[in-house]
Amino acid sequence: MFYRRLLDRWIGVVLSTIGIVATLWLGFTGQLALYIHPRYFVFTIVMAVIAGVLALSAFALVPAGPRADGHGHADGHGHADAGSRHWRGLGAAGSTLIAAAAVVGLLVLPPSTLSTATVTQRDLNGSASTLSRSDAVDLMGADYTTFTMKDWISLLRQGVGEEFLTGKTATVTGFVTPDKSDPENVFFAARFVVTCCAVDAQPIGLPVYSPGWQDRFETDSWVTVSGGFRTNPSQISKEALVMVPDSIAPVPEPDSPYVY
């Protein structure tokens, strides 16, 4: 009885405390960037500290509630029937499982980056993740050796011709995700653009023509690709222009895997 009443009364505060501890731990270990944009770090940590103070205040100030009498009853109106005790028992078990799942999910399992599983659910190289047409046009007169992955993708998306790309090379790092239209010959070196948090992250990627890439690299493994651009040799891929790599090297996942 006491355990069930404790769970009923404090499960919300306990879950909040678990979330607060997880947020502070991610912040102090530098892994909060896997979930939110760095511009929100200070705000998030400050709010977590305030929430922690409020949670501790709840434990200290909220009354413990009615005490059970010597027969294990919560009051003097008699004992609950067997059905009521059964449902309360299920409720206590469910609350315990929720708390345990929160501990495992937030404090035990290591945080992970978004991957191909998320790419398949979102628009790769969609309008929200690349530069505007005017910005892309401005790039055409800039020093291409300073271009980021996002810059190159914006130029390809805006339809620059092969004549502009001739003689230009790029070096990009991203995780491997297959081209849906020709997964045998083309993959994308991809990353996620985060504007607020991982929930709104949009995938971007440069198409790489590399027949048989599956024999050398696993999906979601990280690679650095260097090479130039040309018309896609694939007859079935929907990508008009692709990188033709001079080299593809496996690399560890970067400490900052997202693009901001």
Q: What is the CA radius of gyration of the chain?
A: 27
Phi, psi of 166, rounded to the nearest 5 degrees: -60, 130
Domains of the chain in start order, with CATH, are 2-108 (no CATH), 117-250 (2.40.50)
Distance, in Å, from the CA atom of 95 to the CA atom of 103, rounded to the nearest integer, reads 12
Number of H helices, E strands in the chain: 7, 5
Q: What is the chain's length?
A: 260
Closest CA to 248 of 220, 218, 223: 223
Provide the 3-class DSSP secondary structure of residue 141. coil
CB atoms within 10 A of CB 91: 14
Output the CA torsion sign for 235, 217, 201, 99: positive
| pLDDT (0 to 100) of residue 27 | 83
Provide the 3-class DSSP secondary structure of residue 221. coil
Is residue 35 a contact partner of residue 260, using CB atoms and an 8 Å limit? no
Q: Which residues contact 224 (CB under 8 A, 6 or more apart)?
A: 171, 172, 173, 248, 249, 251
Provide the strand spans (E) within the chain.
169-178, 186-193, 202-209, 222-231, 241-250
| pLDDT (0 to 100) of residue 59 | 67
Tell me the pLDDT of the chain (260 aa) as tens digits.
444 555 555 666 777 777 788 888 888 887 888 888 888 888 888 888 888 888 778 766 655 555 544 444 444 444 445 555 544 544 545 555 555 554 555 455 556 788 899 998 888 887 655 666 667 667 777 888 889 898 898 888 877 888 888 899 999 999 999 999 999 999 999 999 988 888 888 999 999 999 999 999 999 999 999 999 999 999 999 999 999 999 999 999 998 899 88
Estimate to the nearest angstrom the gap between the alpha carbon of 227 and the chain centroid. 29
Is residue 225 a contact partner of residue 172, using CB atoms and an 8 Å limit? yes
DSSP code of 201? -
Distance, in Å, from the CA atom of 138 to the CA atom of 179, rounded to the nearest integer, reads 29
The pTM of this model reads 0.71
- The β-bridge partners of 10 are none
DSSP code of 108? I
Is residue 106 a contact partner of residue 18, using CB atoms and an 8 Å limit? yes
| pLDDT (0 to 100) of residue 210 | 97
Is residue 245 a contact partner of residue 210, using CB atoms and an 8 Å limit? yes
Distance, in Å, from the CA atom of 102 to the CA atom of 15, rounded to the nearest integer, reads 7
Closest CA to 198 of 153, 258, 253, 108: 258
